[in-house]
Structure 1
Amino acid sequence: MANPYAIVAITKHGVETARNLHAQLPGSDLYYMSKFAQGDEAEKGIQLFEGSVKLILPDLFQRYTGIIQFISLGAVVRMIAPILKDKKTDPGVVVVDDRAQFAISVLSGHLGGANELTRVIAELIGATPVITTASDVQKTIPVDMFGRQFGWQIESFEHATPVSAAVVNEEPVVIVQEAGERNWWNYDKPLPTHFRVVDSTVEAVALRAEWQWNAALVITHRLLSEQEESVLLRNGVLYRPKNIVLGIGCNRGTAFEEIEAVVNETLQELQFSRKSVRNIASIDLKKDEAGLLALCETHGWGFTTYTPEELNQVALANPSETVFKYTGAYGVSEPAALLSAEATEWVLEKRKSGNVTISVALVPNGVPVALPIGGATT
């Protein structure tokens, strides 16, 4: 699949509007019935088909993240019903009426992106967007999309539905934010009073005694203790922000498996989630290091490198003459971690294991990292 969106039309008027939309919507492929061919389809990469559109929909569902159909809503519902699988994997589906008066978000409004696609389409063709998702209508937090613009990852969908119900029904909801971007409320109104934002799990538990919250949204890079999970995730959703930077130095040719083992051991000791790792940082001499590249590719992490001169701008308590002799920098993992995270201190300054040296820094966000309930981290 070269493009994310498929536009499908089966009527004369629908084809005209679909062609117009296709010309304006980047990343779109256009499909319509061959009887409406205008002779320029091959030149413009337009796909023609014979027979019922129902025959090509299963393939489109597999190949595209968004499907825009110039077909009646009822017909679309009947055609897609047998091929629906899961809200996490089904593409977003948008329906546009034959006169292009309305663009309607039909399926996967949040995770599939249909709601946002509906708004874009409506603006491009001059239609009225129709979105019925409660959180969008009420201008409140979409639980299954919370923090997605920042790259936050939901740990589990187990309680997403009941927590979403609590949000839209304006029941008391506590938002525990130990990490991550703070500018997630983008509506032109104050945060509703049925939300309370606290900086730690300890505060959330204490708050429950005076304000009986019914659901929790927890944003942290920490691995929660069993006690924390039992209280906060009984009816809560856990989000992993991307705020961990791993500074790594290694000997040339160090195997991917050895580097990954050091990373896993380090994160486990710190009680940090691997899902919150944003990127690896190192010296530019390592920009082609196979083990580091494989690590980033395996986990979908970014890879940032710095020149020795850039690394030497960071003051180190224990600069290494040996490292300087071979690299031109007095340290690799420590300064790379701080520079990439734009931090002033490390969570872990340096740990050497075999052929690997690792440092850990957190992207600053002004949110204090709390200790777990019932215990302390080291």
Structure 2
Amino acid sequence: MKLAIWSVTRGAGFIGVGISKKIPNSTLFTLSKFNIDESIQMENFTETLNEKFHEFDGHIFIMATGIVIRKISKLIISKDVDPAVVVIDEGLNFAISLLSGHLGGANELVEYLGNRLGVVPIVTTSSDVTGKIAVDTLSQKLKCQLESLEKAKNVTALIVDGKDVELHLPKNICSEGFSEGVIVVSNREKLEMIQLYPKNIIVGIGARRGIEKEIIFDFLKEIFKKNNLSLKSIKHFATVDLKADEVGILEVVKELGKELKIVSRNEILEVENLFEGSDFVKKEIGVRAVSEPCAFLTSSKDGKFLEMKAKYKGVTLSIYEERFIYEKR
């Protein structure tokens, strides 16, 4: 988790230095007028926060909650994209989960800070304080994507209200496969239901130089429809190093909000004999295949190909489905 630590007083700045040393992957911001070493010194707190807010996974503010609320109010977008926001008082007494407690991880962050700093973690989300699990937390634990924030809220409300809510997982959830149909037995006319999308689909992609985004996107949607798959379940895309700057690929990946993993040709050479290749591709770029080995090499290698090599207008797609593991706790 990439964290930013913010302070606007001299005392909070020195406290932030101590905190940053105990929290890996954290960056401390202090006001330049205090000239505090081991921090990024800023001239203007508001301007710097506005610029950096969505660049971090979480924020730790060492200041009053009122200040934080006023400063982040115009930066908030939605609970599924907003970073975690935690407030710590200068006396190092409390760590308050203020924003994105579930999906953003603020609730877990304050628990972590409690262990590392000796502060009291403050969590106010109803499902947590009553010892129940919210749907968005369940989705996060299962590494899935929510079908709908509205549906998640409705089902979580039932859980918090003490209603019976069932969790249906395929019997073979710890091996392979996913249900393609659901039977619900209930005497209730209205049922609150929601689908969680496991992020276990890896898309290996190869494309000719200058390929248009629209061609890639249309073909991707066609292949996913053919295999009855949701784009929400894409874990990441993968391609060869030569295509790391291919605009069409980058635009599709960005629009879907996914990660593009780059695989070197040296890595592909080690496994290319496992896949059907092309002499022409070998002559052009030095390896016999791209999409299949890229998907395989960036996967857990515990799963199967749903689509080995689909081709259309200069685009090649390979779809790898990782085995979905649900760990009971």
Q: What TM-score, normalized by structure 1, do the two folds share?
A: 0.63
* Structure possessing the higher radius of gyration over alpha carbons: 1
Secondary structure of residue in 1 paired with 2:153? helix
- For the residues of structure 2 that align with 1:177 and 1:360, how far apart are their CA atoms? 23
1:182-216, Cα deviation, whole Å (9 max, x unpaired): 6xxxxxxxxxxxxxxx96363x424x248x7x9xx
Out of 110, 118, 122, the residue aligned to residue 118 of structure 1 is: 110
Give the deviation of 1:160 after TM superposition: 2.2
Q: Which residue of 2 aligns with 1:360?
A: 319
Give the deviation of 1:85 after TM superposition: 5.1
Q: Which residue of 2 aligns with 1:205?
A: 183
Secondary structure of residue in 1 paired with 2:323? coil
Give the deviation of 1:79 after TM superposition: 4.9
How many pairs align? 313
Q: In structure 2, do the counterparts of structure 1 residues 145 and 61 end up closer, same or farther at CA, with 3 Å as the change threshold?
A: farther
The equivalences for 1:359-378 within 5 A come to 359-365=318-324
Out of 240, 244, 259, the residue aligned to residue 301 of structure 1 is: 259
- For the residues of structure 1 that align with 2:77 and 2:210, how far apart are their CA atoms? 42
Out of 326, 329, 348, the residue aligned to residue 307 of structure 2 is: 348
Percent identity at matched positions?
28
Aligned-residue CA RMSD in angstroms?
Answer: 4.4
The equivalences for 1:1-378 within 5 A come to 4-8=3-7, 17-25=15-23, 26-31=25-30, 37=34, 40-41=35-36, 44-47=39-42, 60=49, 63-64=52-53, 65-71=58-64, 75=66, 79=70, 88=79, 92-148=84-140, 151-177=143-169, 200=179, 202=181, 204-206=182-184, 208-209=185-186, 235-282=192-239, 286=243, 289-299=246-256, 300-305=258-263, 306-314=267-275, 331-334=289-292, 336-338=294-296, 340-341=298-299, 342=301, 345-365=304-324
Q: In structure 2, do the counterparts of structure 1 residues 57 and 172 end up closer, same or farther at CA, with 3 Å as the change threshold?
A: farther
Give the deviation of 1:157 after TM superposition: 0.8
- For the residues of structure 2 that align with 1:153 and 1:287, how far apart are their CA atoms? 26
The residue type paired with residue 259 of structure 2 is W
- For the residues of structure 1 that align with 2:13 and 2:294, how far apart are their CA atoms? 54
- For the residues of structure 1 that align with 2:49 and 2:172, how far apart are their CA atoms? 36
Q: What TM-score, normalized by structure 2, do the two folds share?
A: 0.71
Gaps of 5+ in 1: 50-55, 183-197, 215-230, 368-378
The residue type paired with residue 70 of structure 1 is M
Q: In structure 2, do the counterparts of structure 1 residues 163 and 62 end up closer, same or farther at CA, with 3 Å as the change threshold?
A: farther
Q: In structure 2, do the counterparts of structure 1 residues 251 and 343 end up closer, same or farther at CA, with 3 Å as the change threshold?
A: farther
- For the residues of structure 2 that align with 1:366 and 1:70, how far apart are their CA atoms? 41
Gaps of 5+ in 2: none
Q: In structure 2, do the counterparts of structure 1 residues 20 and 337 end up closer, same or farther at CA, with 3 Å as the change threshold?
A: closer
